[in-house]
A and B are shown apart, each in its own frame.
Chain A
Amino acid sequence: MNRNYWQPGYETMPREELRELQLARLRDTVARVYAKVPIYRERMDKAGVRPEDIRTLDDIRRLPFTVKQDLRDTYPYGMFACDMTDVVRLHASSGTTGKQIVVGYTKRDLEVWDNLIARQLVAAGVGSDDFIHVAFGYGLFTGGFGLHGGAQLVGATVIPVSTGNTARQLTIMQDFGSTAICATPSYALYLAEEAEKAGIADKLKLRVGIFGAEPWTEEMRRQIEARLHIKAFDIYGLTEVMGPGVSYECSDQKGMHVSEDHFIIEIIDPDTGEPVPDGTPGEIVFTSLTKKAFPVIRYRTRDIGTVNREPCPCGRTFARMSKPKGRTDDMLIIRGVNVFPSQIETVLINLGYPPNYQIIVDRVNSLDTFEVKVELTDDNFDDSVAALARKERTITEAMRSLLGIGPKITLVNPRSLTRSEGKAVRVIDRRKLHD
């Protein structure tokens, strides 16, 4: 049992002790950002709260929230809390949803990060005997270097293959004997398909995968597991807070354990900012407790999820967060109805379609149009027009009953939808072009 912990002293720390540690670290972080980061000091002054006012963990609620726009407004280094001489690494978010943001790490921050990743790897049963195929992008994106550092720390053999050139990836997997893979779930599925096409899916030595960096569903997990013959784990994080490893899955796989010795998680009502009870969905908010270069105070992730503080059979005392249902950024409002791409994915997988889809929203004569492109596989193909029309109706109706709004279904050829080898392009919202 013990071998599944990387840092049992922290991972199984009694809650009371953990809370004391959190409070001490929170007070230290707040004092530091107040002294060193003008935007935090201004916000706190305005809210009438001083570092010494943080006497209990609940006092965190007195601190103002931080949002992504703050990171943009202070771009590039306005929210760094240490001298740039101590910063040894920069990462940046892709900027797909706006101007890019940049974060930094001290040597100590990177050590912490490596340990967070190591917790996930060890919880997934990955260790020094493993060959870890890191197919996350290496570069400014946190995925590649993040997993790389942790994999090296546990003593595994790291294969820093990065993204792209899928045929070569499969060759490497076979020749080098990759036993574990780290990738975005959409790329894992793409690799699985290509492996099947090449007839090598069951010849690989893969036994475990760590996936993250984009929202995915349980149905997609089951597909990846079945097609690559592995056990799939979900790792969570975001660049602004650290990168992957903010929370991680144990083998019980009922939520991701938040590394609470380094982060405080809160769930709030996104409209009022007030905390919601455990188990109630709300926006996930993180405060970093040990980061030196780029601490964050009550950072609003825009991810919607729940927290569960019940004890976990795995023995870890860290609270668990649900797989985020979606990022509020990803949420589409179509004719006044909230639609998460993950809901579309669930319906498609349940009906036996590949989880490769594209949602196209447009506005015609001031009415939103809602279209979902679905890949038609040989298994689902029927050569009668009536039968295909029935299939389209079935998908539309299943989505209508889940969402309250039914899309127009457009069938397309398999593997024809744009696939980035990093993050999948799931949504094309043309309405923005007209505004």
Chain B
Amino acid sequence: MAVKQLSVFIENRPGTLVEVTEILAAADIDIRALSLAETPDYGILRLIVDKTERACEAVRASGRTVTVNHMVGVRICDRPGGLSAALRLLAGKGFEVEYMYAFLSEKENEAEVVLRVKGSSEDRAAAEKALAEGGFDLIV
């Protein structure tokens, strides 16, 4: 279950983002989706890539702080209301979403969403179970 996400700590100075993307390119990593969380002092780059472990090692070897997390991944219909149906379900069961981002699927009329629910890995598993039971297709 679950989607692996690579997170990279990004120091707040010019050029750090491009350096990370170059490292990934050099390691032959394909980026499927990404999001950047920013604060005035630093950023956290979150990536879904094709070879997570390899990407993690390459970025770590460059002296950057990295971590790999398991995220809830869910497929939704690419039409008005598709996303809110999934979020409504989670909210109704008391799950809190810390952050999320979405990208278009290779399949037509489908989008993929990765999200982090607040709490432990048990909370994540419970959220996945709730989505599956609600008829959503999980990304594994």
Tell me which residues across on chain A come within 8 A of B103, comparing CB atoms: none
| A383, A386, A389, A410: residue with the most chain B Cβ atoms closer than 10 Å | A383
Contact (A381, B66) CB under 8 Å given A376-B9, A413-B11:
yes
> How many A-B pairs with Cβ below 8 Å?
48
Tell me which residues across on chain A come within 8 A of B64, comparing CB atoms: 413
Tell me which residues across on chain B come within 8 A of A382, comparing CB atoms: 67
A383 to B60, CA, bound (A): 15
- A384 in the interface, Cβ–Cβ < 8 Å? yes
Tell me which residues across on chain A come within 8 A of B42, comparing CB atoms: 388, 410-411
Q: Which of A383, A389, A412, A414 contacts B67 (CB 8 A)?
A: A383
Q: Is the CB of A411 within 8 A of B69?
A: no
Q: Is the CB of B67 within 8 A of A378?
A: yes
Tell me which residues across on chain A come within 8 A of B65, comparing CB atoms: 376-378, 381, 413-414
Contact (A378, B116) CB under 8 Å given A385-B39, A385-B44:
no
- B63 in the interface, Cβ–Cβ < 8 Å? yes
Tell me which residues across on chain A come within 8 A of B44, comparing CB atoms: 383-385, 388
Tell me which residues across on chain B come within 8 A of A410, comparing CB atoms: 41-42
Task: Say what secondary structure dominates the interface of chain B.
Answer: strand
- B101 in the interface, Cβ–Cβ < 8 Å? no
Q: Is the CB of A383 within 8 A of B46?
A: yes
* B82-100 at interface with A (beta carbon < 8 Å): 98-99
A411 to B10, CA, bound (A): 10
A377 to B64, CA, bound (A): 8
A contacts with B, residue count (CB < 8 A) = 18
Which chain A residue lies CB-closest to B39? A385
- A12 in the interface, Cβ–Cβ < 8 Å? no
Tell me which residues across on chain B come within 8 A of A376, comparing CB atoms: 9, 65
A413 to B41, CA, bound (A): 13
- B37 in the interface, Cβ–Cβ < 8 Å? yes
CB distance from B96 to the nearest CB of A (A): 11
CB distance from A190 to the nearest CB of B (A): 14
Contact (A416, B63) CB under 8 Å given A384-B98, A385-B44, A411-B9:
yes
Task: Say what secondary structure dominates the interface of chain A.
Answer: loop
- A415 in the interface, Cβ–Cβ < 8 Å? yes
Q: Is the CB of B11 within 8 A of A385?
A: no
**Per-position 1/0 for B35-58, Cβ under 8 A of A:** 001010110101000000000000
Q: Is the CB of A412 within 8 A of B39?
A: no
Contact (A414, B66) CB under 8 Å given A381-B9, A386-B98:
no
**Per-position 1/0 for A371-400, Cβ under 8 A of B:** 000001110011111101100000000000
Q: Is the CB of A384 within 8 A of B67?
A: no
A414 to B67, CA, bound (A): 13
**Per-position 1/0 for B1-44, Cβ under 8 A of A:** 00001010101000000000000000000000000010101101
Q: Is the CB of B37 within 8 A of A385?
A: yes
Tell me which residues across on chain A come within 8 A of B63, comparing CB atoms: 413-416
Can you show 9 pairs from A to B with CB atoms below 8 A apart? A376-B65, A377-B65, A378-B67, A382-B67, A383-B7, A386-B98, A388-B42, A411-B9, A413-B9
The 5 A-B residue pairs whose C-beta atoms are closest, nearest first, are: A383-B7, A381-B65, A376-B65, A381-B67, A385-B37
Other A-B pairs beyond A376-B65, A383-B67, A413-B11, 5, CB < 8 Å:
A378-B60, A381-B9, A388-B39, A410-B41, A411-B41
